[in-house]
Structure 1
Amino acid sequence: MHSVPPTPVTELPALEDLFTFDEFSRDFVEAARELRHRARTSLLRGPENSLVVLRNRDARALAANPQVGNMPAEILFWMATEMDLGSGPVTKPEPEQTAGFDRFLRNQVFTSNPPLHQPNRNILARQLMPRNILPFAPLAERLAQELVEEALERQQIDFVHEFAGRYATRFWAGQLGMTRDEATHVQALMEEMNLTFLLTRSPEQSEQMFSGVDTYMDVVGEAVRRAWAKGDNELLHAMAADLAKLDIEGKPEDIGTFVAANFFDGFHTVAVALVNVFFRLLGNSAAHARVRAEPSLVTNAFHEGTRLESPLMVSQRLALQDIEYEGVFIPAGTPVVMVWAAANRDPEVFTDPDDYHLDRPVQHGTTFGGGAHLCPGRNAARMLTEIALTTLTAPDLDVALVDHEHAWVPNSLMRHLTELPVTVRRVSR
C-alpha cells in the first residue's frame, strides 16, 4: 500500500476565502467565534503561505514542537519597517529612527532560536521560578494596598492606567532598582510601545512607536546598569552572572539591554492581564461575590479570565526545518500563526467556551505557550495578578464597573481595553 502524501500548506483552505484581512484582524475573539461555525479545519493557509493554527490541540502541539521556533528579530524588524501592514505602503524610516527598536528585538529571548534560545531563556527562567519569586510578594501586596488607598480618594478611577499600569510598573521598577519617577516614565512609554502590536499603523504612529521604544531602552537600560553597579541587587546580580557565562553568537549586549528588552512584558503585559481578568470578574456579579467570600478562588479567576481574554491573542512563529504535522507538510521558513484567541475557546476542550465559569477545571490553556517556549514570566504574572485580585476583592472593599461602553483596541495582537472606569469604596464588614 502507498502512503498518502502530506498536504502542502499552499493547498490548505485559505483564510482569505473566509475573511478579508481587516475582518479577521479587527477583533480576533470575534473572528475566532465566526471561524468555529464557518471552518471545518483547524489549519488554514494565511497570508504569505503562512500556517494559521486555530484549535487547542494543534496550538499546544505546535507551540511545544522544538522545530517551530521564534520569529527572528530581523524578520520582525522588516515587518515593522518595510512590509505592507495592510494599510498601504510603509515609508521606510531612517536607520537612526529605528536603532532602539532593532536593539529591543535583537536582545529578546522571544526572538532567539537554537543554539542561543535555551541558555538565553534560562537567564530569565531561573530567576522567575516559584521559589525565587516568593520574596517579591510583600512588595506586590504593599503596592496593591497603596493603589487602593489612592483610589479611595477619588470618585472613580480608570483601572487600566491608574491601577493596573501603575501596579505593574512600580513593582518591576522596585525589583530592578529603578526610582518611582522612572517607573512613571516607563508607564507613559507603554502607551507608545502598545503600538508595536497594531497590525495597521499610520506613519505618525510608527514614528511614535520607534521613538517610544528607543527612549524605553535607554531609560530602563541605564537604570538597570546603575542598580547593578551598586552590587546589592540580587536579581540583577544573578542574571548578570548567568549572562557573563553565555558565550554564543548573538548573545545580549549587557545586563541593562537584556533586562530592558525582556522585562517589557512585566511592565506591560502583566498590567493587561490584570485588567482583563478583573474586567471579566467584575462583569459576573455572582462570581465576584464568591471570590470576595472565598479568597482562594482568585486562582480560578486568573485562569478563567486569561483563558477568555488572553492578553496576547496571536503570535507568530517560524518553522525552523521541514515538518510534517497531522498530514500537512510545513516547509522550513513557513510562518506559523498561533491564534490563541481561538485555541482558548475551542469547544472540543472547553464546554460553553464563550462563557465565564469560575469552577471550570484548568484545561490545556495556551495563554503562556508551551514546551521550550513556555513563558518564563508566567509564575510572576500569575502571582502579581492574584495578589492584586485578593486585595481588590477584600470584604471591606466594594469595587464596581462604571456604566460605560467598554472598547477593545481594534486591529491589535493584544487583547486590551482602552479604559476601564471603576469606583472603589470602603464598606463595613
Structure 2
Amino acid sequence: MNDHLDIANLPSLAEAGFSGGRDNFREFCRTIFRINEPRFLRNDQNQLVVFRHEDLQAFGTAPQIGNLPIGKLYPARFASDGSPARGPGSGVADVISSQVFTFNPPLHGPARQILIDWLGPKQIAALEKVGRQAAHAVLDRIQHSSPLDFVSAIAERLTISFWSSLLHLTDSETETIGACTREMTRLFRLGRNADDLQALDLAFAEYARILDDVATRRLAAKDPDLTAIAEKLAALRSDDDPFAVGVAPKSVGQLLAGNLVDGFHTTALATANTFCVLARDPNAMTQVRNSPQLAAKAIAEALRIEPPIILLKRYALEDFTYRGKTIPAGSIVTMLWAAGNYDPSVFPDPERFDINRLHAGLTTFGKGIHICPGRHLGVMLIRVLLDVFLEKDIEVELSGDRVTWIPRHMVNQLSAMPAIVKRRTG
C-alpha cells in the first residue's frame, strides 16, 4: 500500500540554507547535493519542494502535476463560487488569470497553441529581423567606453524595443510599459508587503490598459497576427473554473497582457544574466568570437549557470504516487527548477562554465507540457544581441565586483550590472 508523503515533517528550505534569491542559492546547492538525503524539502507553508534533477523531470512531465490555477494562486481574488472579488492583488490577478501558466486541461493545450502559433520555433525566423533591428537600435544609442548599467541600458531596452516594434507601440506607450515592467519585479519577491501589492496593482492595470488599446488598434488595422489570435480565441471553448482549469482570456488584449509579462520582464533579465556569465568568464567570449557557431551552446550554458527562474509552483491535479509515496490531489508543489541545473549527478562541476557541456536535461525553462512557450523567442533575442556584439566587434567589461542580485526572489535577477561596453582594441 502506498503511503502519503509526510510533507510537514520534511526538512525546511530554510534549514537547508535557502531563503530565496540568487545570493544563497549556490551555497544551498553545494550543501544539499553533497548528500543523497533528504529527497525532498518543504517551504515555510509546508508545501512540497522538489529540487533534485531526477525528481524535477518526473514531476515536470507527470500528467497528474499541472499548473497552479489562478484561484489557488490568488485565493482572495475569487469567491468560493468562482465569482470575482476585489482587494489587494486583484489587479495583478486580473492580468495573470489570462496566463497559460495558470491553465490546466482542457483549457491549457488549445490556449498554449495560440501562443506557439504566434511566437513558436517556426515563427522565429520572421521575428529575428525585428529582434536584430532592436539590437542595433539599442547598441547604436550607447556611448562606448562610458560606464552604464547593462540591465537598464541594454537588456531592458532590447526587450522593450522588440515588443514596441512588433506591436507598433507609440513612444508614450513604450515608455509607460517600460516603467510598468520595472515595477513587475516586485511580483517575484518572496513575502510581498502591502506597498508591493498596491504598486503592482497600479502597474499591472496600466500595462493591461495599454495592451488592450494596442490590440484594439491593431485589430482595426487588420494586423494578420492579432487577427489570427482573435479568431482562435473566439473558437476557444472552456468553462471558467478559477480553482482547477483556469479562466480563458476574453479578448486579444487580455491574452497579450497575461502572457507577455515574461516577454517584457523575464526575457530582459535572461539577457542580462547571459552577458554577465560571458563577461565574467575570461574564455567564454573568446571562444564565441573564434567560433560563432558555438553561440547557441554558450547561451544554453550561461542560462544553465544563471537561469532566469529559480522556482515556480505547480499543482497536483490528481493523487501522484512517486517512489512509493503519494502526493495528494490539491497539493501545491514548489519546483526549484534552477537547482536541477546544479545537480552534479547530471552536470558535473556545475558552477564551471563549459561551452562544450552536454545540455540534454536542462531545467532552465521547466519541463513537460508546461515548459515555457516563449523560450525560443527569448533565446533568439539573446542570440541576435550577441551576434550584433560580434559584428560590431564590441565587448562588455564588468566594473569590478559591483554586480548585485535581488535577494529573496523567485527569479534570478540582477539589480545592477555596472559595465563598460567598448570596441575591442585587439
**What is the TM-score normalised by the length of structure 2?**
0.91
Residues 23-32 or 177-186, more deviating: 23-32
User: In the alignment, is residue 295 of structure 1 matched against residue 292 of structure 2?
Assistant: yes
Q: Determine helix, strand or coil for the equivalent of 2:384.
A: helix
Picking from 132, 137, 144, the partner of 1:146 is 137
Give the structure 1 partner of residue 214 of structure 2: 223
Which residue number in structure 1 is paired with residue 312 of structure 2? 315
1:330 is matched with 327
> Unaligned 5+ residue runs, structure 1?
82-93
Aligned 8 A contact 1:27 1:411 in 2: no
CA 1:428 to 1:404, structure 2 compared with 1: closer, same or farther past 3 Å?
A: closer
Secondary structure of the 1:152 match is coil
Q: CA deviation at 1:366?
A: 0.8
Say whether 1:258 aligns with 2:255: yes
For 2:412, the aligned partner's letter is R
Q: 1:39: Cα distance to partner?
A: 6.1
Residue matched to 1:244: 234
Indicate conservation of the 8 Å contact 1:319/1:336, yes or no: yes
Structure with the higher fraction of residues in helix conformation: 1
| C-alpha distance in structure 2 between counterparts of 1:39 and 1:337, whole Å | 19
The answer as to whether partners of 1:99 and 1:214 remain within 8 angstroms in 2 is no
Counterpart amino acid of residue 249 in structure 2: P
Gaps of at least 5 residues in structure 2 are 79-84, 241-247
1:107-256 matches, within 5 Å, as 107-152=98-143, 155-231=146-222, 233-250=223-240, 251-256=248-253
Q: Note closer, same or farther for the CA distance 1:395–1:179 as it changes in structure 2 (3 Å cut).
A: closer
Distance 1:424 1:296 in 2: 23
CA-CA distance at 1:372 after TM superposition:
1.3
Counterparts of 1:339 and 1:356 in 2: how far apart (Å)? 21
Question: Could you report, residue by residue, the CA deviation over 1:59-80 in whole angstroms, capped at 9, with x for unpaired residues?
Answer: 0121111110111112221389
Alpha carbons 1:178, 1:224 under 8 Å: kept: no
Mean CA deviation greater in 382-391 or 176-185: 176-185
Residue 402 (structure 1) aligned with residue 403 (structure 2): no
SS state of the match for residue 393, structure 1? helix
Give 1:399 deviation, angstroms: 2.3
Does residue 385 (structure 1) correspond to residue 375 (structure 2)? The answer is no
The 8 Å contact of residues 199 and 412 in structure 1, kept in 2 or not, is answered as yes
Measure the CA separation in 2 of the matches of 1:63 and 1:377. 17
Q: Secondary structure at the match of 1:333?
A: coil
1:80–1:269: structure 2 CA closer, same or farther, 3 Å change rule?
Answer: farther
SS in 2 for 1:69: strand
Count of aligned positions: 413
Q: Deviations over 1:348-383 (max 9, x none)?
A: 100101111111111301111222102111111111
Output one character per residue of 1:31-82: Cα deviation in whole Å (capped at 9) or x when no partner: 233222366133223344322111111101211111101111122213899x
After the TM superposition, which residues 62-81 of structure 1 pair with which residues of structure 2 at under 5 Å, given as runs? 62-78=59-75
Mapped to 2, the partners of 1:388 and 1:19 lie a distance apart of 38
Name the residue aligned to 1:85.
none
Say which SS state the counterpart of residue 397 (structure 2) adopts. Answer: strand
* In structure 2, distance between residues paired with 1:79 and 1:389: 43
Counterpart residue number, 2:244: none
Aligned CA distance change for structure 1 residues 46 and 423 (closer, same or farther; 3 Å): closer
Note closer, same or farther for the CA distance 1:163–1:17 as it changes in structure 2 (3 Å cut): closer
Structure 2 match to 1:306: 303
Change beyond 3 A, Cα 1:21–1:298:
closer
Q: Determine whether 1:353 maps to 2:344.
A: no
CA distance in 1, matches of 2:292, 2:22: 37
- Sort the Cα spacing of 1:22 and 1:360 in 2 relative to 1 into closer, same or farther, 3 A: closer
- Matching of residue 374 in structure 1 with residue 371 in structure 2: yes
Name the CA distance, whole Å, in 2 between partners of 1:101 and 1:7. 34
Question: Which residue in the other structure is 2:416 paired with?
Answer: 419
Cα displacement (A) at 1:202: 3.0
Distance 2:129 2:392 in 1: 20
How big is the shift at 1:398? 2.9
| Aligned 8 A contact 1:195 1:209 in 2 | yes
Distance in 1 of aligned mates of 2:414 and 2:38: 31
User: d(CA) in 2 for partners of 1:252 and 1:160?
Assistant: 32
Indicate if the aligned counterparts of 2:20 and 2:407 stay in contact, CA closer than 8 A: no
* Partner SS state of residue 249, structure 1: coil
The offset of 1:276, in angstroms, is: 0.5
Contact 1:170-1:180 at 8 Å conserved across structures: no
RMSD: 2.3
72, 84, 101: which is aligned to 2:92? 101
